[in-house]
């Protein structure tokens, strides 16, 4: 959208003023922060900026694993002086309105409670496709998402729309922006990139959404490269802007040394997370005589298959599966682990690796997707080829048997994560984005 184009029904960017200067007109400026880890380097003061987040997944309660990274962004903006409202779908047992950490969360109804089942599980695309009833529910979902967004824009005097995931949030944001003239930002997190990769028929729609957006941000350079490859957005409009990580929750902890080495993986039980290769790597380590245990936390649709594979490989006393845990409990798991592993295939980002780095634990990831944005091989962690259990086993063996290497990687990862992914660092990038 050209800078001189209408920003709202009453406001225009005056000739000769940049978007950042217009934002300053809303109250944007910079200050230094004292003693607040969420804005260690600088903050953005936006007392007149009302932002509406549009998201189909957002925390339902404190410690929830549904979109905590989006909540961290919202908290940072609130601490910086902005007013943030979130519009997300209703779910069983939730209030239609509540306030968490100064953020107003509005949850729209789209069906009887027992049928409000499309969101929060990370598989909306799978649920909708091939199921006629869910497809009809999705149409109602989009309609009520849009109608409620218009209502909030009017009532709360919203002057910036911020859509997380290009679909459905970006689609609704595009319609709301066309209807009201409000500027739009869109962020892709990874699962929505895979929708574009899998369903080419959706790319023209995404391209129209991205064209309307002021900026399109992505959480890794991997996603940016593919958007450019698909010719969906111009290079000057798409920006790599990772989600911040809570540096107050994830901090260096004293390592609890044990006789048995612990390998930790926090990931949803899906094929894309590469857990098959971690299980196979565990078999390699067992055959070498290592005394270890593997904890895989996350739960998900492939639980039964992974359980059978573990049993078939004789790993029932070595590899343990467990359901997802509250985010507030994750630091204790990192503290107990000797190494944290994420063997994912084309991961959009790999947030758990950053959490582990901030906890000052050594990490191993695949040279795939957005993970190389997090790990610099041999400095802030180890990278291995995807789908390669032998290389993964070898990397795990190196970390478990070389304390100096493990310590160096843990320290390097901590320093890297603080520099690139802390709230203060990400706020700096937001400021650069709005210049």
Q: What is the pLDDT of residues 274-301, one digit of tens each?
A: 999 999 999 999 999 999 999 999 999 9
Mean pLDDT of 312-324: 96
DSSP string across 348-378: S--HHHHHHHHTT--EEEESSTTGGGT--BT
Query: What is the per-residue pLDDT for 8?
Result: 36
pLDDT top residue among 146 and 249: 146
- 376-423 pLDDT, tens digit per residue, is 999 999 999 999 999 999 999 999 999 999 999 999 999 999 999 887
The structural domains of the chain, with segments of one domain joined by +, span 19-241, 261-421
Query: What is the per-residue pLDDT for 122?
Result: 81
Query: What is the per-residue pLDDT for 259?
Result: 77
Residue 91 in contact with residue 206, Cβ under 8 Å? no
Please give the helix or strand (H or E) that residue 383 lies within, else none.
strand 382-384
Which residues are CB-contacts of 372 (< 8 A; sequence separation ≥ 6)? 222, 365, 383
pLDDT top residue among 259 and 413: 413
- pLDDT band for position 431 (cuts 50, 70, 90): low
- 72-131 pLDDT, tens digit per residue, is 889 888 888 889 999 999 999 999 999 999 999 999 999 999 999 999 988 898 899 889
Angstrom distances, CA of residue 279 to CA of 210, 263, 330, 364, 409? 40, 11, 21, 15, 23
Mean pLDDT of 180-203: 93
Same fold, 19-241 and 261-421: yes
Residue 85 in contact with residue 50, Cβ under 8 Å? yes
SS (H, E, C) 303-330: HHHHHHHHHHCCCCCCEEEEECCCHHHH
- pLDDT band for position 433 (cuts 50, 70, 90): low
Residue 209 in contact with residue 179, Cβ under 8 Å? no
Query: What is the per-residue pLDDT for 434?
Result: 52
Q: Mean pLDDT score of the chain, rounded to an integer? A: 87
Determine phi and psi for 380, rounding to 5 degrees: -115, 15
Residue 306 in contact with residue 332, Cβ under 8 Å? no
| SS3 category, 167 | helix
Residue 22 in contact with residue 6, Cβ under 8 Å? no
Q: Percent of the chain beyond pLDDT 90?
A: 71
- pLDDT band for position 136 (cuts 50, 70, 90): very high
Query: What is the per-residue pLDDT for 47?
Result: 52
Rounded Cα distance, 256 and 247, in Å: 21
| Cα 139 to the center of its chain, rounded Å | 25
Which residues are CB-contacts of 276 (< 8 A; sequence separation ≥ 6)? 306, 309
pTM of the entire structure? 0.83
Q: Which CATH architecture has domain 261-421?
A: 3-Layer(aba) Sandwich (3.40)
Least confident of 105-119, 164-178, 232-246, 339-353: 232-246
Residue 97 in contact with residue 128, Cβ under 8 Å? no
Bridge partners, residue 43, by sequence? 31
Torsion angle (degrees, nearest 10) of CA 53, 350, 293, 326: -10
What CATH code would you report for 19-241?
3.40.50.2000
Closest CA to 208 of 235, 161, 179, 173: 173
| SS3 category, 269 | coil
- 169-178 pLDDT, tens digit per residue, is 999 999 999 9
């Amino acid at each position: 959208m050209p800078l001189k184009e209408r920003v709202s029904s009453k406001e225009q960017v005056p000739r000769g003023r940049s978007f950042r200067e217009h934002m300053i007109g809303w109250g944007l400026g910079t200050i230094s922060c004292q003693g607040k880890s969420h804005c260690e380097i600088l903050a953005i003061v936006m007392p007149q900026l009302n932002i509406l987040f549009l998201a189909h997944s957002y925390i339902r309660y404190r410690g929830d694993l549904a979109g905590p990274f989006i909540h961290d962004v919202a908290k940072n903006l609130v601490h910086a002086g902005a007013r943030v409202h979130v519009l997300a779908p209703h779910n069983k047992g939730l209030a239609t309105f509540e306030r968490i950490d100064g953020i107003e969360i509005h949850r729209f109804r789209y069906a009887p409670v027992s049928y409000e089942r499309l969101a929060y599980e990370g598989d909306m695309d799978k649920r909708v496709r091939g199921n006629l009833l869910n497809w009809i529910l999705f149409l109602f979902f989009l309609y009520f998402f849009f109608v409620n967004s218009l209502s909030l824009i009017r009532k709360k005097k919203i002057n910036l729309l911020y859509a997380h995931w290009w679909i459905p949030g970006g689609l609704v944001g595009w319609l709301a922006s066309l209807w009201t003239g409000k500027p739009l930002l869109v962020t892709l997190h990874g699962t929505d990139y895979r929708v574009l990769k899998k369903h080419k028929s959706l790319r023209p729609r995404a391209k129209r959404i991205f064209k309307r957006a002021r900026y399109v941000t992505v959480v890794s350079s991997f996603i940016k490269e593919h958007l450019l490859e698909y010719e969906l957005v111009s290079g000057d409009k798409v920006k790599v802007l990772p989600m911040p990580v809570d540096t107050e929750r994830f901090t260096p902890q004293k390592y609890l040394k044990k006789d048995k080495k612990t390998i930790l993986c926090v990931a949803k039980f899906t094929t894309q997370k590469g857990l098959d290769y971690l299980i196979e790597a565990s078999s390699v380590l067992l055959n070498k005589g290592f005394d270890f245990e593997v904890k895989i936390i996350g739960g998900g649709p492939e639980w039964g298959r992974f359980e059978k594979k573990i049993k078939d490989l004789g790993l029932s006393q070595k590899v343990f599966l467990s359901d997802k845990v509250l985010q507030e409990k994750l630091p204790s798991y990192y503290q107990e682990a000797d190494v944290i592993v994420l063997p994912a295939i084309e991961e959009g980002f790999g947030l758990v690796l950053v959490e582990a780095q901030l906890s000052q634990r050594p990490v191993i990831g695949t040279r795939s997707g957005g993970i190389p944005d997090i790990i610099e091989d041999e400095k802030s962690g180890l990278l291995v080829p995807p789908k390669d259990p032998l290389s993964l086993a070898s990397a795990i063996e190196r970390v478990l048997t070389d304390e100096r290497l493990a310590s160096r990687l843990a320290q390097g990862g901590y320093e890297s994560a603080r520099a690139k992914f802390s709230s203060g660092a990400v706020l700096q990038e937001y400021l650069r984005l709005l210049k």
